Amino acid sequence: MTARPRRSCLYMPGANAKALEKAKTLAADVLLLDLEDSVAPEAKAEARAQVAAAVQVGGYGKREVIVRVNALATPWGRDDIAAAGAARPDGILAPKVESAAEVRALDDAMSAAGFGADASLWIMIETPHSILSLAEIAAAAKRTRLAVFVMGLNDLAKETRARAGVNRAAFFTAMSLAVTAGRAEGLTVIDGVYNDIADAGGFEAECRQGLEFGFDGKTLIHPSQIETCNAVFAPTDEEIFRARAVIAAFALPENAGKGVIKVDGRMTELLHLEEATRVVAVAEAIASRA
């Protein structure tokens, strides 16, 4: 069971040396070192070199380090992937992916850049075409490094002209389809960013909403968002307690070979055992980071 916690995924501009350094002290599960939207065209080459050097030197501990590259269709994409491949982060995040063919092209580019089979490919789900092709895109995970979907709702808002409003109702379909398509192929699926850094209450509400939709975690833009995000996306003490009770009940000799039993008065099936095992694995992985 892969139980790598990916609750808090903090973006930082690759051109911002201070942020790359500060990240070594932050409790984010994942660092997304950005070469794309947050880096101006004139600064692309310098940011690429700076990110590659930071990754190579390391010091990020157990944090998963992912480099967000520019799209292959841009003048920078191939060089970004080549530089990342030489520096060996845990993987790359590619923007504006719209088809299975693009996933395969990215995977091939990773191989050419020297990434091992254990590196992961994360992709942004952020254009109308990506939403309409989610099933096909997710299915490309079968023969590639594709492991994670990341919602890009700022771009999707721009492309569709839908507005987030107070509760993101205009994006429910896209969010739910992304989670469903991702789960169909066993992917991790991460929610989009919350832009209003000063609004802690609104941020927490959006974390909880993302959890209800089934997201594994949320992308973040500021260190002040990490703690709340980690708390919301971690299994609660009660969930861990229940999960352990389910595992213990199925392990009893009298329940050997049974498909359904009663635990604490509730009907409990093997599917609940599977989920309980996942919850405990995630909780243990989180505890091992603290």
Q: How many CB atoms lie within 10 A of CB 282?
A: 24
* CA gap 238, 223 in Å, rounded: 28
Residue 39 interacts with ligand COA (CB under 6 A): yes or no? no
**Interacting partner of 155 out of ligand COA, Mg ion, none (Cβ under 5 to 8 A depending on kind):** Mg ion
> How far is residue 73's CA from residue 61's CA, in Å, rounded to a whole number?
33
Does 217 bind ligand COA (CB under 6 A)? Our answer is: no
Judged by beta carbon, residue 108 or residue 227, the one nearer ligand COA is: 227
* Binding-site member from 7, 8, 10, 168 for ligand COA (CB under 6 A): 10
Distance of CA 111 to the CA centre of its chain: 21
Establish whether 79 is an annotated binding residue.
no
The string over 188-209, giving b where at least 16 C-beta atoms fall within 10 Å of a residue's C-beta and e elsewhere, is: bbbbbbbeeeeeeeebbebbeb
Q: For residues 121-180, which are near ligand COA according to CB under 6 A?
A: none
Asked whether residue 126 is marked as a ligand-binding residue, the answer is yes
Burial 2-20 (b: 16+ CB within 10 A, else e): ebbbbbbbbbbbbbbeebb
HSE at residue 99, side-chain half, CA atoms within 13 A, is 4
Strand 120-125 with 8-13, pairing: unpaired
Subset of residues 130 to 189 that bind Mg ion, contact rule: CB under 5 A: 152, 155
Site for Mg ion in 41-70 (CB under 5 A): none
What are the beta bridge partners of residue 10?
31, 220
Count of residues that bind Mg ion according to CB under 5 A? 4
**Using CB under 5 A as the criterion, what x/- string covers residues 8-37 for binding Mg ion?**
-----------------------------x
* Of residues 51 and 181, the one with the C-beta less far from ligand COA: 51
The answer to whether residue 98 forms part of the interface with ligand COA (CB under 6 A) is no
- Taking CB under 6 A as the rule, does residue 19 contact ligand COA? yes
Binding site, annotated residues for substrate: 68, 126
Q: In the complex, which residues of this chain contact Mg ion (CB under 5 A)?
A: 37, 126, 152, 155
Q: In the complex, which residues of this chain contact ligand COA (CB under 6 A)?
A: 10-13, 18-19, 22-23, 34, 37-38, 193, 221-223
